[in-house]
Structure 1
Amino acid sequence: MSDFAAQTTPEPREYDAGFGDYFALLKPRVMSLVVFTALVGLLVAPGGTSPMIGFTAILFIALGAGASGALNMWYDADIDSVMKRTAKRPVPAGKVPAGEALTLGLWLSALSVVMLGLATNWVAAALLAFTIFFYAVVYSMWLKRSTPWNIVIGGAAGSFPPMIGWAAVTGDISIASVLMFGLVFMWTPPHFWALALFMKGDYHKANVPMLTVTHGRRETRRQILIYTVLLVPVALGLVLTDVAGPIYLVTAVVLNALFLKGAYDIWKREEAQAEADNYAVERRVFKFSLLYLFLHFGALLLDALWRLI
């Protein structure tokens, strides 16, 4: 080989992936939220199911969520590499080849959908298949890079798990399961926009058209308040169904009052003030939003258990 060829031929890249790196491809934090909301949807559904079928359903719903995460990490490796929050993910960090992330995502997608259909019913399987497609293709490949409303529309992908859990038991879709979907769907924009307010630099560097980038932080603050106001009737609407009881009612009233107060606090703040205290209010509301969703679904679960006593 000539000296020139030796200098210009790229060195073979060595990947040093362990089990933890492949598990990280499945976005375990996101998966935990998917599993919990799907489990609640399954447990509050009328009729019930056997523990074994319920466990199997949740297992394959979780694998479907993991498949979505792997496909997202494969496609988003380029922008993940320039964002501080995501640069250490397995693909941009050079731990896992992008092709392996794609292969894992595709295999887990097929396995989770087919096995959920065989274990429960094909309505639940179809909802899971659509969820994976929506997150990997509609959101990751299209919406995320093309519109500031990516989170609004794309949030549907993370909203389907309680519907899937419900359908795994009943084989259908009901007003209650749609409202559980709506709760997650309407919660997603203020949750992520609160994060975007103090992570704006990352989205600028990655050229992702988050609302903070395209419309500015003032408009983002306004939209957080608007969507939180719209979220309240959806959250309280579940009280009108058979799945919510007194525990949920009290929980929802308190949590929505606190979330509205947080959204109002974000809306009224000036940027200079927010920057001066390192976006303390925005960070607090973002953390509270995680607790908000967990406690809503936890209250639904407690009401279901209470009815069994």
Structure 2
Amino acid sequence: MTAAIPGTAAIRAGIGLLGAIGFALSYDALRQMAAAVHIRGPLTYAFPLVIDGFIAIGIGSLLILRAASPHARLYVWALVGLATATSIWANALHAIRLNQAPRHSSTLLLDDVTVGVLSAIPPLALAGAVHLYLLVHRHNQPERHNRHNSAGKATATFDRQSSSTGHQPARSAPSSPAPAAHTADTAAGDGTNDPVAPQPTAKARSQGRPATASMDELLAIGRTAPRGRGGRISRRNVEAAIRAAGHSIGKDRLTEATRALQDEADRHEAEHAYADA
């Protein structure tokens, strides 16, 4: 576990405090701008949330879409940048117009173009928020679909392979205990007190059973294996599916197959997110 950097908690607290103060100051200026564009009564208090709240929603969407395609992330960044620029412009305009107003006057007078632009912000924010929701929903949909359907596909594929090849699940039982037991019996027969068998060398391991399937066949079986946590390719599930199909596989070939399947899944997810965006 990585040790926490000294001062991290103080920096986080400072960031939170600075964000709260900045929001309060921006909120006051935007509320006065809402009154200047003739938004009535208590609704002036909701106007700042439309602008600054949209910025917060956009940043949260970027965190959720960190694995999405660059095109989708660029679109969200554009919305966040536009909302941020709007908030800065409205705050600056608020100060300038108050500075130009007659002395001891707190009334903001805006031109027709400015009033029209500020009045168009709420419906634009509504449309942007709905589109952000659809984008986040489409990004998470393929992962949930794979988790629900992978178990059924693996079972159906295994049944078809078993009926066509005649292989039974019992063949997937590991055969490693037999050599270990033989070594222990040999050691006991020699009169030694230590029954622990020596670890096999790399040369001995390489002389094991030959592969019973090509890499393409292993990848085809691995695609039917259930996904692991977070929708990732599970090394354990891939190995179980291959052995259940009646094939043997070594550690190196299993690693190669797992990496190839994960790379393939990452490419498909990126292509799907780009197409949906």
TM over 0.5: no
More helix per residue: 1
Shorter-chain TM range is: under 0.3
- Asked which structure has the greater CA Rg, the reply is 2
